[in-house]
Amino acid sequence: VVNGVSTTCTTFKACDDLLGPDATLYISGEWNEQLRITESGSAGHPINVIGTDALIKVDRTEVSGIALTGSYINLSGFEVIGGDSFGIFITGQVIKVENNIVHDSVLENGTAGNCRQGSWGSAIKVREAMYVEVRGNQVYNSCGEGIALRGTYVLAEYNTVWDNFSVQLYVDNSPYTTAQHNT
């Protein structure tokens, strides 16, 4: 469903092309391709991407399961498995990532239970983004960092992060960033 109209997209790319301010995209079922949101909403009119029993499961051929490169995006309700370097990768501005489950990602370093030293990917990675909220997510069994924040005005709260190969919550070069109430 995009903008209240039932639309069938056979690929995520086809759906991304339909998005704009005030759009709501509902996704359900299992998908074996990267969900990349490149379009942007606007102030007070974000793009809402809502998973309802949605599973994004990718292998090492995709850098991440979900990539948010646009701005003014709210993402919630996804289970993400896999991704070579990241489960969810955020580089856009004014983004909320809430109530997702991300696990068994950062495959460039192996698989859960068989992780090895390598690159420092992250299950959820904020990279040089601004005004990002990462809230209420569950992150576990990734062969890298759990949640890594490198941005400005980033808030990470009420996330539960465990059993990742590297640090569970990592903050680096992130002015005006708050990490609170995480487990």
Pairing of strands 138-140, 114-115: unpaired
Q: Which of 132, 87, 82 is nearest to 110 (CA)?
A: 82
Q: Which helix (H) or strand (E) holds 147?
A: strand 145-157
Distances (CA, A) of 7 to 10, 50, 79: 10, 15, 22
Q: Taking a C-beta distance cutoff of 8 angstroms, is the pair 94, 57 a contact? A: no
Q: Which two tokens stand for residue 47?
A: 């793009």
- Round to whole Å and give the CA distance between 103 and 81: 5
Question: Tens-digit pLDDT profile for the chain (183 aa)?
Answer: 566 666 777 788 888 888 889 999 999 999 999 999 999 999 999 999 999 999 999 999 999 999 999 999 999 999 999 999 999 999 999 999 999 999 999 999 999 889 988 778 999 999 999 999 999 999 999 999 999 999 999 999 999 999 999 999 999 999 999 999 999
Q: What angle (nearest 5°) sits at the alpha carbon of residue 47, between those of residues 46 and 50?
A: 125
Q: Which helix (H) or strand (E) holds 119?
A: none
Q: Which of 141, 148, 182, 149 is nearest to 165 (CA)?
A: 141
